[in-house]
Amino acid sequence: MDLNDINYSEYIKSKRQQLGLNQREFAELLGLNESGERTVSGWERGEHKPSSSRWKNVVSLTTNVPFRQEGEKTWFKFVDLFAGIGGIRLPFQEIGGECVFSSEWDKFSKKTYATNYGELPLGDITKIKSDEVPDHDVLLAGFPCQAFSQAGLRKGFMDTRGTLFFEIQRILSDKRPKMFLLENVKQLRGHDKGKTLSTIMSILRGESASNILLNAPISGEARESLNSKLNYCVDYRVLRANNFGIPQKRERVYLLGFDRDQFPEIDIDSALQEIFSQLESIKIDSCLGDILEKNTSVDPKYTISDRLLAGHKRRREGHKKKGNGFGFSIFDRTSPYCNTISARYYKDGSEILINQSDVNKNPRKLTPRECARIQGFPESFRVDSVSDNQIYKQFGNSVSVPVIREIAKLIKPVLDATKKA
């Protein structure tokens, strides 16, 4: 579409409005600088034209937003913190929730989020005051895991990413939603011999905050909010994604909490244990062939080179000699499940390679669509708004949607009871 053959100002304004974005959000989506809102305003008023590269970016934006909430009947409100690409949001939207606030700092994840939901999350949650967050019934957060994960340095609360839990705590303290769902890596359970998770649970229950290190990098507002005692009935479980119908050996900690003060007519302790009991009883079979494309139809760019394959083999042999189990893994259509996809998958794909001996080729990486499927995202979820490298990172950092969906279904009647009360 040629810039000189169209009323560009009307086109830009119309596209922005169809996406449901204001000028600031539209500018951010296009990757403009701090004066971007003023730039977009100038375009729409016809004061100046976008450059050819900016115009190309505008034209490339699609108005097909598959999961936009528009005119849908909703019965509870939720917020989506550390939102990533919206994997936790989707199931709660499906059961009738309205997302009234979302926050995510990564600009590429925000673009994928906006492409699929028609709204751009706000940025760094540490810079957003609690009173700027709308009132809500449910708080959702897949808070950063690097401070606890096996792939990170595991500094816990002495890592600024580890202290982001306290940003959740301050919002819980100020807004007192009826319930929350938090997700993190399995290693959170054993971090610092279990002390980290114990501290988190104690704070959420309103038992104690005395063991928070004074020199931990916590924001002033978050530290001050520790003086306000919460009163949540809270517990956690480690759940495996492959028990929920997706062929991935992904284990994550899920923390669920209900505000005791807002469920006076319910034995909330028993209700919470029943939810976890039902979740642990779910066993839905699957195999990798359910989500894989045929090797004959996969773009050759996903096939790894001879040089990269040789490097994988050398590294695996080196790890073997050291007595550890690290190294690449090859799976095929008959495999019941594969390893956990990580945020570093874009580097070499070593944790999940697909056998292509049937077409006489080296193993290949998963395609972006297969990554979406292996996390349980719907086929209509858009994976084309960012580069392959970015989409690999995003799905590696995301959640297993079917697990969240089952949790959402089970908490629905508990939430519904407060609506009837």
- Residues taking part in catalysis: 145
Determine contact, residues 100/155, Cβ cutoff 8 Å.
Answer: no
Decide if 254 contacts 276 (C-beta within 8 A).
no
Q: Are 126 and 221 in contact (CB under 8 A)?
A: no
Q: How far apart are CA 331 and CA 248, in angstroms?
A: 11
Contact (Cβ atoms closer than 8 angstroms) between residue 92 and residue 408 = yes
Q: Which of 180, 182, 163 is CA-nearest to residue 225?
A: 163
Q: Which residue has the tokens 């997700």?
A: 183
- Decide if 61 contacts 114 (C-beta within 8 A): no
Angle between helix 52-60 and 8-19 (nearest 10): 40
What are the two backbone dihedrals, phi and then psi, of residue 39, each rounded to the nearest 5 degrees? -65, -50
Distance CA 282, CA 245 (A): 9
With beta carbons less than 8 A apart as the criterion, state whether 393 and 346 touch.
yes
Tokens of 99: 């997302």
Edge-first strand order for the sheet with 232-240 is 97-102, 76-81, 138-141, 179-185, 251-259, 232-240
Cα separation, 243 vs 257, in Å, equals 23
Residues β-bridged to residue 181: 140, 256
Contact criterion met (CB below 8 Å) for 182 and 255:
yes
